[in-house]
Amino acid sequence: MTRILGVETSCDETAAAVVEDGRRILSNVVASQIDLHRQYGGVFPEMASRQHILSIMPVIQQAMAEAELDWDDLDAIAVTYGPGLPGSLLVGVNTAKGLAYGRGLPLVGINHIEGHIYANWLIVGDSPQEIVFPSLALVVSGGHTELILMTDHGQYRRLGHTLDDAAGEAFDKVGRLLGLGFPGGPAIERAAQEGNPFAFKLPRAWLKGTYDFSFSGLKTAVLRIVQKYEDKVSSSADSTKNRRIAVSQPPSVIRRLPVADLAASFQASVIDVLVEKTAMAAEEHQARLIMLAGGVAANRLLRQQMAERSTLPVLYPPPALCTDNAAMIAGAGYFRYRVGHRSGWDLDIVSNLKLAEG
Ligand code: KG4
Ligand code: ZN
């Protein structure tokens, strides 16, 4: 039995978890900073790292207590060393290094994107999912949109990625435009339930002949529609022309905006492209399985449409394991640890770390 403590601080969640043999979660603690960042309409990096410093040790202690383990019962510590916000990553990496050194445990540095993929291995309920290779992972989060062909443990080939905004970033920006607050993903999904996905004809960037994605045109199309409503509401030209995308809409605009229809149309546009490209890549590369990963994989419509579109089995973690957590880092850590992967005490953060290039 191999037990690994995972530590994750790449963005705005301070997380620690203990996982056995890469699949069985013994504890999984996430201290979310969402309430802290909401007032800024997005993650404020400096605040995030300061909050990580305050939360990291209590979170790790709680993860150890909930797992009912002693430090001697652990085999290794796995930690996210990239990609992510530098100040945030530093807190996790240095804490993990200090603990591993002090307790005489091996240290395993993990790529955050790899962690998201390995969330699919974590056992939830009674029947563990069996994962076969090659499998195709669609990693969609606030920072990433990548299609990754996985031919074995630790073997990745990137088939495509976003050329501009990540899918989650688009959800967050459009959420702000529609006055739905932060994070936009869950809020748009909720609002879209009451809306008509065909109400607005929004663009879909197919980027034919590639498995790449682009969401900035879609975001701009929503902005234009919002501005049209704004023009109707406001007689002052200044307030309409110079609006910055990051600013939430004033209540007078929001009252008139068909928020539910816009949310549903936007969501459908993002998901159509994600699903179609993933299904096509899976066919071309003869994948035996599709895995969804990352915060946007919590989206029910994405899960549903992916399962309907593909004849392959489609796996996805439960929502709490789609968004950032440390169980996925401990899980990925196990599969690296068991083949002898160890990081040195000079392990440093790599904020733009890649999993694999095309
Ligand atoms: O994986 P994650 O927690 O952090 C990153 O590594 O970025 O993903 C967070 C992202 C946010 O952009 C959030 O809006 C999005 O995932 N998200 C969703 C949903 N839940 C979270 N997007 C669409 N639908 C959801 N239900
Ligand atoms: Zn993430």
The confidence score (pLDDT) of residue 250 equals 62
Fold of 3-124+321-337: Nucleotidyltransferase; domain 5 (3.30.420)
The ligand minimizing its distance to the Cα of 183 is 1
Nearest-CA residue for ligand 1 atom 13 is 185
Question: Cβ of 327: how many Cβ atoms within 10 Å?
Answer: 32
The confidence score (pLDDT) of residue 253 equals 62
**Same fold: 3-124+321-337 with 135-316:** yes
* Pocket lining: 189 vs ligand 1, CB cutoff 6 Å: yes
How much distance in Å is there from the Cα of 191 to the middle of ligand 1? 16
- The span from the CA of 151 to the CA of 218, in Å, is 33
The ligand minimizing its distance to the Cα of 168 is 1
Would you say domain 135-316 falls under CATH 3.30.420.40?
yes
The confidence score (pLDDT) of residue 245 equals 41
* Pocket lining: 184 vs ligand 1, CB cutoff 6 Å: yes
The confidence score (pLDDT) of residue 118 equals 98
The confidence score (pLDDT) of residue 242 equals 41
Mean pLDDT value across the chain = 93
Domain spans in the chain, listed from the N-terminal domain onward: 3-124+321-337, 135-316
The confidence score (pLDDT) of residue 46 equals 87
CA-based nearest residue to 326, from 40, 42, 55: 55
Separation in Å, CA 250 to CA 88, 176, 243, 318: 32, 11, 11, 35
- The span from the CA of 29 to the CA of 13, in Å, is 10
Low-confidence residues in the chain, pLDDT < 50: 236-247
Torsion of CA 127, 25, 297, 86, to 10 degrees: -160
Tens-digit pLDDT profile for residues 183-227 = 999 999 999 999 999 999 999 999 999 999 999 999 999 999 999
The confidence score (pLDDT) of residue 263 equals 98
Q: Which of 88, 267, 292, 296 to mutate to test the pocket of ligand 1 (most atoms within 8 A of CB)?
A: 296
The confidence score (pLDDT) of residue 38 equals 84
The confidence score (pLDDT) of residue 323 equals 96
Q: Near ion ligand 2, which residues have CB within 5 Å? A: 141, 324
The confidence score (pLDDT) of residue 219 equals 96
Eight-class DSSP state of 87: H
Q: Which residue blocks in 167-258 are alpha helix, DSSP H? A: 167-177, 184-192, 216-233, 237-241, 251-256
